[in-house]
Amino acid sequence: MKALTTLIAMSGFLREYLTVLVFGAAAVAMVGAMLGAGSLLRPKRAQLQKYISYESGVDPVGTGWSQSQIRYYLFGLLFVMFEVETVFIFPWAVRLEDLGLFGLVEMVVFIAILALGLLYAWRKGVLRWM
Amino acid sequence: MTFAVELAYWQTTTIKVLVVLGVIPVAAIVLGYVFLLKMMSHMQSRLGPMEAGPHGTLQLVADGLKFIQKEDIFPDRSDRFVFGLAPVVVLMSTFLLYIVIPAGPRLVVEDLDTGVFFALAVSSLSVLGVLMAGWSSANKYSLIGALRAAGQLIAYELPLVLAVVGVVMQAGTMSLQGIVRAQSEGEIFGIGFLGNPFIFTQFVGFAVFLLAAQAELSQTPFDMPVAESELVAGFMTEYTGFRFLFFFMSEFGSAFALSAIGATLFLGGWHFPGIGGSLADVTGPLVLGAKVMLVAFFIFWFRFTFPRLREDQLQAVAWKYLIPISLANILVTGVLKVLF
């Protein structure tokens, strides 16, 4: 019962996100409708050569899922770390007026640690192209 | 003033969906025609398309009609399910962006409390679609293009988000309507008739936002994911017809949406000095449209002016310059906000 009353109290909030869901569905519906309309109009003449992977006109060599050197790996790790910490900055930014000097000092410390992490990665050569 | 008729939730939602369904292709066509076809041509001393319609205005419509007639090809080696799904994911990300953009005091699909945050979160969904497209194509060009795109989009996601924090601090809210209101009611050194567009106080944030948006939209100088002289068409290489068109629509739809978010955050959105009340609902779309075109003009001007960066330079710009600058911007804004 309590859960139900909370749900009703939250219904305005939930309804906003229902719209988000509706819009997601509308995007899928639009793609479906356009492809459906297209299928009535477009030709379909199967020729084996059409379905070969494109490699500038030459027959493809090996598999398309070949191993490639992922230089972005460390950047990816760095990103995950920074992005998660960036998320913490947002609630602080909204409430800064109320938090005042105390909040500011806290955030200076937080960002200093963040910047120190970036500096460390920089000095370690992570940001250099390898 | 209120409307005489009260509409039910499903009715208003249907109207909103239809409006946005109409706005996205129109926005894509307007940006594509005005900037990509015409402005680029004139900046390069040529005419561009002139045949379809007066002065070539119908060129993109003609292109769309051409795309309808193209065969829908799935390469033999591709992962068919993911290959088909990828453009849907990319287009959905664009579509969801339009939910939070306000075009007037009451002209907004849903004024979410987390407005800016939602927009940034949703816009990064497109990375998933791009990676899916590149991987499922089973093509070397596509794979390299997708990896480049992923590396680039995540690198510039951070400065984009951090640049917005300064505005959120000044406005004290993440809702885009709230941010517009904060700008229209604010004043600069006691002068109130202009409001306080945050571009004056957050100029650094605006510059970082524009650069990062340029990279998020993979516009030249940051167009390595689709670099046509190296990778044919990057992650889109294997796509034909309508599925290719979805990527195109999403690219220009997102360009419009990000310009609109930039205009809302830094230029005051739908607010025009001296116009308020229900009149702003009428002028709002026009004012916002003009501001969007201004922001988009800068993005495309930049695009036509500079050559492509190298991949390592791209990462260096994001990590060594933009992120430290935007962190410093947050601190300076915080100190000024608390002191004054």
Q: What is the nearest CA distance from B298 to chain A, expressed in angstroms?
A: 27
Which of the four pLDDT bands, split at 50, 70 and 90, describes residue A2?
Answer: low
- More confident position, B229 or B149: B149
Mean pLDDT on A25-37: 86
* Minimum CA–CA partner of A43 in chain B: B71
Q: What is the pLDDT of residue B1?
A: 43
ipTM: 0.80
What residue type is B261 in one-letter code? I
Q: What is the pLDDT of residue A9?
A: 65
Q: What is the pLDDT of residue B42?
A: 86
Q: Judge: A26–B140 Cβ closer than 8 Å, yes or no.
A: no
Which of the four pLDDT bands, split at 50, 70 and 90, describes residue A37?
Answer: confident
Q: What is the pLDDT of residue A53?
A: 78
How far, in Å, CA of A26 to CA of B18, rounded? Answer: 9
pTM (predicted TM-score): 0.86
Q: Judge: B327–A45 Cβ closer than 8 Å, yes or no.
A: no
Q: Which of A67, A56, A86, A58 is nearest to B147 (CA)?
A: A67
How far, in Å, CA of B143 to CA of B134, rounded? Answer: 5
- Residue A27: other Cβ atoms inside 10 A: 25
- Judged against a pLDDT cut of 60, whether residue B4 lies above it is answered with no
Lowest mean pLDDT among A6-10, A79-83, B252-256: A6-10
How far, in Å, CA of B14 to CA of B17, rounded? Answer: 5
How far, in Å, CA of B17 to CA of B109, rounded? Answer: 9
How far, in Å, CA of B160 to CA of B172, rounded? Answer: 18
How far, in Å, CA of B307 to CA of B43, rounded? Answer: 15
Contacts with B, A 90-119, CB within 8 Å: 90, 93-97, 100-101, 103-104, 107-108, 111, 114-115, 118
- Residue B112: other Cβ atoms inside 10 A: 22
List CB contacts (< 8 A) between A16 and chain B.
Answer: 110, 112
Identity of the residue in B110, B150, B174 whose CB atom sits nearest the CB atom of A16: B110
Question: What rounded mean pLDDT belongs to chain B?
Answer: 83
> How close are the terminal C-alpha atoms of chain A, in Å?
60
Q: What is the pLDDT of residue A102?
A: 83
Which residues, listed in sequence order, are joined to residue B191 by a DSSP beta bridge? B188
Which residues, listed in sequence order, are joined to residue B37 by a DSSP beta bridge? none
pLDDT digits (tens, 9 = 90+) for A40-73: 888 878 787 778 777 777 777 777 677 766 667 7
Mean pLDDT on B122-135: 87
Give the H/E segment covering residue A95.
helix A73-123
Q: What is the pLDDT of residue A7?
A: 67
A34 CB-near residues (< 8 Å, 6+ apart): B242
What residue type is A55 in one-letter code? E
- Judged against a pLDDT cut of 60, whether residue B246 lies above it is answered with yes
How far, in Å, CA of B242 to CA of B310, rounded? Answer: 31
Lowest mean pLDDT among A3-7, A71-75, B223-227, B263-267: A3-7
pLDDT digits (tens, 9 = 90+) for B39-52: 888 888 888 788 88
pLDDT digits (tens, 9 = 90+) for B163-207: 888 888 888 888 888 888 888 777 666 666 667 777 777 888 899
Q: What is the pLDDT of residue B85?
A: 87
B101 CB-near residues (< 8 Å, 6+ apart): B108, B109, B119, B176, B257, B260, B261, B264
List CB contacts (< 8 A) between A95 and chain B.
Answer: 172
Q: Is A78 on the interface with B (CB under 8 A)?
A: yes
- More confident position, A66 or A17: A17
List CB contacts (< 8 A) between B13 and chain A.
Answer: 19, 22
Q: Is A66 on the interface with B (CB under 8 A)?
A: yes
Locate B95 and state its tokens. Answer: 């579509």
How far, in Å, CA of A98 to CA of A105, rounded? Answer: 13
Locate B179 and state its tokens. Answer: 């941010």
How far, in Å, CA of A73 to CA of B315, rounded? Answer: 12
- More confident position, B321 or B272: B321
Q: Judge: A54–B238 Cβ closer than 8 Å, yes or no.
A: yes
Alpha helices in chain B (DSSP H): 9-31, 40-43, 59-68, 80-97, 115-123, 125-136, 140-171, 176-185, 203-216, 228-231, 241-266, 279-305, 311-316, 323-339
- Residue B243: other Cβ atoms inside 10 A: 25
pLDDT digits (tens, 9 = 90+) for B48-69: 788 887 888 888 888 888 888 8
- More confident position, A75 or B156: B156
- More confident position, B88 or B228: B88
Lowest mean pLDDT among A49-53, B241-245, B298-302: A49-53
Q: CA-CA distances (angstroms) from residue A83 to B86, B110, B168, B176, B302?
A: 24, 26, 17, 21, 27
Q: What is the pLDDT of residue B287?
A: 86
- In degrees and rounded to multiples of 5, residue A9 shows phi and psi of -65, -30
